Structure 1
């Protein structure tokens, strides 16, 4: 099946190592119904978390270049592992020299923006630090790889150093979700991770960031395990709201509404499109048909 071309219409690329980014894609489509998107899941090389930083960076560049070649001038990295490992490096070195008119943004800084109030442009250029809310205590639940990079700790500290951040690795959850484990199987793991997080603290966090695109599927289990006063933030809705503001500031990346070219989304995978399509509905909330890309 041929990959549709969008001609002169602006199209936004969304890149992920697999299917988790579909929870972000779903929120983007809902918040921006007049935009067109190409989603590329690198299922053929997933999972990224088991790879070296150099491998992750190389695969991320390759995926972004594919999306650029399909007509995307703005790409969102909807993968915490890829964004945490190399987004700042590619923004500061690779992109300005090879694709100076294109932009790549990620899903980590929109969460930082929501916590600190600093704008998305801070992802591409340093911003003056803010005091933020000095009493705020933020918990980050993520994969082991994302925790190891310290990306959330570093980026929050750059913008609002007074905010206290606690991290909790949840190494089993993403694989269990990929394997379609039920709530009864996953619930004890979520409870154990939350209990471990709380046991290390002198107080209850004010906010908990679910810093993995798989976790919206088990948000209700985190809600059960956390104290009721803890506010939960998931990446899809936060990223969508931030992208909407970004496109307002940078309209050249946005598609002008046109009856002649209605918005559309194309789903591509480097893996087996039949298998990916069969499992994607759990992340997306509806059936989607992926096409293979070499």
Structure 2
């Protein structure tokens, strides 16, 4: 099983921010990335539909022989990972907003959480927030429209910057010193966010932590690939492969994206 691939799925292209961290930390692991762009965004869907989509994506990755699955979507993690773990024997790695480091390191005692409705309204988010942010002013903002802009190839557009300026206003008024990105799409907005936010605001995403956790779980389960090969990753999209290709080719690498109606 150790040479089998790591499976990663998200409601579109955003989870490639997680894939990049995993690929960098674990270059000898084969990875398969699934972009469910047809159903993006998950954040405004009913919980039962989010779970159905998560099971559908899992089944497809299992059909490709994956040994571990990363749910590279905050909304799917907070609403479906418990059910996935109860239904399958292989390990699942989830992603949720990094509230803990933001709350523990905040000096202004005010932090911002930019996430989808599905994440902010979930029981898991509420539980995490309650554990670490009781004495912190947490400004939660739904990033309505951001996923659609990123999925449409407009992450660097004037339209995106204007929307972010409006969404971030409540956080700026409260003088946050940490901004937690609660959606795997949002790291692609960091260049625009840095133009809007004061220089002393720390932007936190979960990609590096997810990669480290993936490595730890592989080691614990004796699933780490010990070969010295550098396997070619595979990418699948069920909507517009060109958008996914543009995202993953942004650093000079050229990867083919397969269209697959999964």
TM range (shorter): 0.7 to 0.9
1:65-84 aligned at under 5 Å gives the runs 65-84=59-78
Deviation of residue 13 (structure 1)? 0.8
For residues 60 and 140 of structure 2, what CA distance do their matches in structure 1 show?
A: 34
> Given the superposition, is the C-alpha separation of residues 43 and 184 from structure 1 closer, same or farther in structure 2, using an over 3 Å criterion?
closer
Q: When the two structures are superposed, what TM-score results if normalisation uses the length of structure 2?
A: 0.84
Of 146, 152, 157, 1:179 maps to: 152
RMSD of aligned residue pairs (Cα, Å) = 2.7
Does the residue aligned with 1:252 lie in a helix, a strand or coil? Answer: coil
Tell me how far apart the structure 2 counterparts of residues 61 and 104 of structure 1 sit (CA, whole Å). Answer: 12
SS in 1 for 2:67: strand
Q: Report the Cα offset of residue 113 of structure 1.
A: 6.0
Equivalent pair of 2:5/2:32 in contact (CA under 8 Å): yes
- Identify if the C-alpha distance between structure 1 residues 230 and 178 changes in structure 2 by more than 3 Å, giving closer, same or farther: same
1:27-60 alpha-carbon deviations (Å, 9 max, x no partner)? 2111211111111122333332343211110110
- From 232, 235, 243, give the equivalent of 1:264: 232
Partner SS state of residue 222, structure 2: helix
1:49 alignment partner, SS class: coil
Aligned counterpart, 1:49: 43
Distance 1:46 1:133, change over 3 A: closer
Post-superposition CA distance 1:72-97 (Å, at most 9, x none): 12111011221122223433xx33xx
Distance (Å, rounded) in 1 between the aligned partners of 2:129 and 2:227: 36
Bigger Rg over Cα: 1
Conserved 8 A contact 2:2-2:222: no
Residue 225 of structure 2: aligned partner:
255
5+ residue gaps, structure 1? 1-6, 117-131
Identify the range of structure 1 (159-168 vs 140-149) with the bigger mean alpha-carbon deviation. 159-168
Q: 1:125 corresponds to which residue?
A: none
d(CA) in 1 for partners of 2:125, 2:201: 18
Q: Tell me, yes or no, if structure 1 residue 104 matches structure 2 residue 95.
A: no
Answer whether contact 1:138 1:163 (CA < 8 A) is retained.
yes
Residue deviations 1:96-119 (CA, integer Å, cap 9, x gap): xxx33x11121116x356557xxx
